[in-house]
Amino acid sequence: MNTALEATGLVKRYGRHATAALDDCSFRLPEGRISALVGPNGAGKSTLLAIAAGLLRQTSGQLRVLGAGPGEARARVGYLSQDKPLHPQLSVADTLRLGAELNPDRWDAAYAAGIVEQGSLDPRTKVRALSGGQRTRVALAIALGKRPELMLLDEPMADLDPLARHELMGTLMADAAEHGTTVLMSSHIVAELADACDHLLLLGGGRIRLGGGIDDLIGAHSLVTGRGDLSKHTVVESRASGRGVTALIRRDGPVGEGWQVQEPSLEELLLAHLRSPEAPALITPSTASTADRTAVTA
């Protein structure tokens, strides 16, 4: 399977003595996945996405984007951040023309215009007169009009009302499904991610704590309630409940007698890992970087 994004020992430090935003971060994102990028504030999500988009230079380590260096694949990568910068003095039509002029080999004018029309926007309106949702729609049209193979989204919907967010996520996901676009999106809204994504990258302390297909990751964990010995499993989080404990464990073999076993929800899995940053990382083989897989084999 081809690789959309692969990080090897990626480090980004802002200033010489600052703590690293990304600290020896390694992972691989296969092509065609719709991956959530989750982590506490300051975990390095925006930094990772900005490096991948060619907007920031890493301090050390390597990041391959669609098989090229970051910045070498600009034409094939779409990027949308929360601030969604657009030129306020341009009309919507001129903004779309800008997309066409700056992506001469890839621009799909009809498709971009279609996204704008769905929001019933007048093309003559100046960008400065648009509402937040309308601006996001125009920014999305610019990002999708170039027909990216990899779409990087840094909480672009965070400031929108639920209705606009639902509508624009719909547009985005329909596009990804139709064209097989790889998507990496950061968000704090777990419900939104659970609906849209089939893959997960959990960042903590500048590294990947959890990485893989969401079904695989959920399948590797159990939510158990009861009493007894859990020492042969990896306990991510446990807390007292009634006369026993409730624990989220990474199973190693069958869970013994006396435990009530449940499959955790994505939200339970994420919260347990966010609350327990010291839990060991789990990266499924398809998501481990080539270097790491070689190390495991050896």
Partner 1 sequence: MSATAFSPRSGLTWTVLRLHRGSIWLWALYVAVTAGLLLWAWGPGTSGLGIIGVCSPKVATGCVAEGDTAGAYHYVLQFTDVLVSFLPAAAAVYAGGTLIGQELERGTAQLMWTQSVSPVRWLTTKLVLPALLLVAGTGVLVLLRRAVAAQTPYLTDNQWFTGSPGALSPVVMAMPLLGLACGALAALLKRRALASAGIGLVLTVALGTFVGLVRSRLWPTETVFGSVERGYPGFVGEVVSEGAVTGSGAHVADPMCGADRACLVDHNITGFYTEGHPPSHFWPLQLVETGLVLALTAAVVALTYRTLRKRVAV
Q: What is d(CA 283, CA 292) in angstroms, rounded to the nearest whole number?
A: 10
* Site residues (vs partner 1, CB under 8 A): 51, 53-57, 69-72, 74-75, 77-79, 81, 83, 85-90, 94, 98-99, 101-106, 142-143, 146
Least Cβ distance, residue 195 to partner 1 (angstroms) = 26
Residue closer to partner 1 (CB basis): 182 or 287 = 182
The full 3-state SS of the chain, as one line of letters, equals CCEEEEEEEEEEECCCCCCEEEEEEEEEEECCCEEEEECCCCCCHHHHHHHHCCCCCCCEEEEEECCECCCCCHHHEEEEECCCCCCCCCEHHHHHHHHHHHCCCCCCHHHHHHHHHHCCCCCCCEHHHCCHHHHHHHHHHHHHHCCCCEEEEECCCCCCCHHHHHHHHHHHHHHHHHHCCEEEEECCCHHHHHHHCCEEEEEECCEEEEEEEHHHHHHCEEEEEECCCCCCCEEEEEEEECCEEEEEEECCCCCCCCEEEECCCHHHHHHHHHHCCCCCCEECCCCCCHHHHHHHHC
Least Cβ distance, residue 98 to partner 1 (angstroms) = 5
Residue closer to partner 1 (CB basis): 26 or 81 = 81
Amino acid letter for position 142: I
Least Cβ distance, residue 231 to partner 1 (angstroms) = 47
Least Cβ distance, residue 213 to partner 1 (angstroms) = 28
Residue 158, phi then psi, degrees to nearest 5: -60, -30
